[in-house]
């Protein structure tokens, strides 16, 4: 009898007996792929060797529920990676027994970063296992030689068998295990191709169970789709403890690592790296690096203070307003939400008397970053007014504030951190919402001049004139 086949959605894992154009579970189009139906488990079948059996022995023992107030809340020491920027994103370092999923575009530096972290831990005498399903051991060695990561404590295992990888982790018991990548692993009990929904789900579940029992820090490398999300079922992102995304604009040397999920720290924390000949180098002062090439005396430029995770970040917003030559105005935004830009344009047209409806508008965040938070609204309005009037904004001013539809400037959160960052980089003025100005903030600002504004017109007059 031929094996029965089903159709599985590659976005969410929903299974259907026939092909569907649109997934009824997640709404994605053209994501169903034909796979063999999972065979029933056979008692006594191959489920792994002695190392895996020892690692999962506790899972088969009977357990009793315990009152939550009686559970010991012992704090496990963090495992520092040797890279301060990565430790910041993780919340202080790896937590033993945690599972981290790292995604990003091809060539962005996922394998490079993890090999550098593996070298840092192995150099401290900790055992590290690097499981590679995409490269041979010789190829990994060549990359390690270029990065200077040839240390005795770093072991490599080239395999695409999920059971072999789990057995090696159970037998070797490393402090850190890297799986590069989860889409290349195949579970022998699942009759489908590597990278399919069932293979990714089963392989990740097996490795996660091993990591939790030992415990060991497990890092999974995930491919991304054309939409920029990690390929495979979204259930894997719910299973792991942290999800990190590598962002890299085209033709930029900077690499931005962002925490989209973190059970042990703040989410949306960022780290900035620069790709160099010998790997990724940390950018310890991203605000200064991003503002280093800011043009002085140029119209359409404004510095805003954003907050990413727990870190204040000064970025430059550039705007170019020009007459529309073909009658149909264009709106282009790079690194900004286009919907937020349209809102600010409408407020400027209605409340501030800047008639931009017949103009082309081009916006970007300098440096290739993508920033999206309400406190950018006022800086965006100042940059647009500066370009429209062809008059430079104050180069010594930082602009902070959320813009309401009535033209009012609303208060923002964590204004003290933003003001300290502006002070640290030598700015002289901060244009901010009047509701944020308090005696405590004035004490923090010191000699920094605080310019409170209530309306968007006041902010434009204070920054542009």
Query: Residue 195 has what pLDDT?
Result: 79
325 is in an annotated binding site: no
Whole-number pLDDT of residue 281: 93
The predicted-structure confidence for 339-367, as pLDDT tens digits, reads as follows 999 999 999 999 998 989 889 999 999 88
Provide DSSP, 371-388. ---GGGHHHHHHHHHHHH
What pLDDT was estimated at residue 53?
57
**pLDDT(463) > 80:** yes
Rounded CA separation 78/98 (Å): 11
Half-sphere exposure in the Cβ direction for 224 (13 Å, CA): 19
- All residues at 6 or more sequence positions from 187 whose CB lies less than 8 Å from its CB, including other chains: 162, 163, 199, 202, 203, 206
DSSP 121-174: HHHTT--EEEEESSS-HHHHHHHHHHHT---TTEEEEE--BHHHHHHHHHHH--
- Residue 109 among known ligand-binding residues: yes
Decide if 261 contacts 38 (C-beta within 8 A): no
Q: Is 434 annotated as a binding residue?
A: no
Asked whether residue 95 carries a pLDDT value surpassing 90, the answer given is: yes
Contact between 403 and 456 under an 8 Å Cβ cutoff? The reply is: yes
Task: Write out pLDDT tens, residues 384-403.
Answer: 999 999 999 999 999 999 99
Residue 205 in this model has a pLDDT that exceeds 60: yes
Q: Is the pLDDT at 224 greater than 80, yes or no? A: no
Distance CA(137)–CA(161), nearest Å, equals: 15
How high is the mean pLDDT of the chain? 87
101 in Cβ contact with 243 (< 8 Å): yes
Q: Each residue of 29-85: pLDDT tens digit?
A: 888 888 777 655 444 444 455 555 555 554 455 668 889 888 876 667 899 999 999
Sheet holding 15-16, edge to edge: 15-16, 5-9, 32-36
Tell which residue, 304, 290, 317, has the closest CA to residue 400. 304
Q: Does the pLDDT of residue 155 top 80, yes or no? A: yes
In Å, what is the CA distance from 221 to each residue of 97, 140, 213, 290, 405? 17, 15, 21, 28, 43
Predicted model pTM: 0.81
DSSP 77-111: PPB--S-HHHHHHHTSSBPTT-EEEEEE-TTSSHH
Task: Evaluate if residue 133 carries a pLDDT over 50.
Answer: yes
Report d(CA 272, CA 206) in Å as an integer.
33
Residue 364 annotated as lining a ligand binding site: no
108 annotated as a binding-site residue: yes
- Residue 410 CA to residue 412 CA, distance in Å, equals 7
Asked if 106 contacts 272 with a C-beta cutoff of 8 angstroms, the reply is no
String of DSSP letters for 341-366: HHHHHHHHHHHS----TTEEEEEEET
CA distances from 108 to 64, 218, 372, 388 (A): 46, 20, 22, 37
* Segment among 184-198, 265-279, 399-413 with least mean pLDDT: 184-198
User: How many C-alpha atoms does 364 have within 13 Å on its Cβ side?
Assistant: 7
pLDDT over threshold 50, residue 293:
yes
Q: Please, what is the Cα angle at 453 between 452 and 454, to 5 degrees?
A: 130
Q: Across residues 316-337, what is the average pLDDT?
A: 91
Q: Is 107 annotated as a binding residue?
A: yes
At residue 43, the pLDDT reads 42
């Amino acid at each position: 009898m031929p094996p029965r086949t089903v159709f599985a959605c590659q976005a969410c894992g929903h299974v259907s007996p026939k092909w569907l154009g649109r997934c009824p579970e997640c709404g994605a189009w053209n994501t169903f792929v034909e796979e063999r139906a999972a065979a029933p488990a056979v008692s006594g079948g191959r489920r792994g060797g002695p190392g895996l059996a020892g690692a999962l022995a506790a899972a088969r023992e009977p357990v009793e529920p315990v009152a939550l107030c009686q559970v010991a809340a012992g704090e496990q020491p963090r495992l520092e990676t040797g890279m301060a920027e990565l430790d910041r994103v993780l919340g202080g370092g790896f937590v033993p027994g945690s599972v981290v999923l790292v995604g990003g575009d091809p060539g962005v530096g996922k394998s490079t970063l993890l090999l550098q972290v593996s070298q840092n831990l192995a150099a401290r005498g900790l055992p590290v296992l690097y499981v590679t399903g995409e490269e041979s051991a010789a190829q990994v060695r060549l990359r390690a030689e270029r990065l200077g990561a040839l240390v005795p404590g770093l072991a490599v295992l080239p395999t695409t068998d999920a059971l072999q990888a789990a057995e090696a982790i159970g037998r070797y018991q490393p402090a850190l295990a890297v799986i590069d990548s989860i889409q290349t692993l195949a579970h022998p009990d699942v009759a489908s191709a590597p990278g399919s929904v069932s293979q990714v789900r089963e392989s990740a579940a097996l490795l996660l169970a091993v990591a939790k029992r030992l415990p060991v820090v497990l890092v999974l490398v995930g491919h991304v789709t054309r939409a920029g999300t990690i390929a495979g079922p979204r259930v894997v992102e719910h299973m792991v403890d942290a999800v990190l995304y590598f962002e890299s604009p085209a033709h930029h040397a900077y690499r931005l690592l962002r925490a989209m999920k973190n059970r042990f720290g703040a989410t949306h924390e960022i780290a900035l790296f620069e790709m160099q000949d010998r790997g990724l180098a940390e950018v310890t002062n991203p605000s200064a690096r991003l503002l280093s090439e800011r043009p002085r005396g140029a119209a359409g430029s404004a510095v805003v203070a954003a907050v990413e995770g727990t870190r204040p970040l000064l970025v430059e917003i550039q705007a170019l307003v020009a007459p529309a030559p073909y009658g149909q105005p264009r709106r282009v935004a790079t690194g900004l939400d286009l919907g937020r830009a349209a809102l600010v344009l409408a407020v400027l047209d209605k409340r501030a008397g800047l008639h931009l409806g017949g103009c082309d508008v081009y916006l970007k965040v300098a440096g290739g970053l993508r920033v999206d938070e309400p406190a950018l609204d006022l800086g965006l309005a100042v940059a647009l007014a500066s370009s429209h009037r062809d008059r430079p904004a104050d180069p010594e001013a930082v602009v902070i504030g959320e813009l309401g539809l009535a033209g009012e400037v609303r208060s923002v959160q964590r204004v003290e951190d933003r003001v300290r960052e502006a002070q640290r980089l030598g700015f002289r003025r901060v244009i901010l919402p009047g509701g944020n100005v308090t005696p405590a903030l004035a004490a923090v600002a010191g000699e920094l001049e605080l310019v409170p504004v209530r309306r968007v017109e006041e902010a434009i007059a204070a920054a542009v004139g």
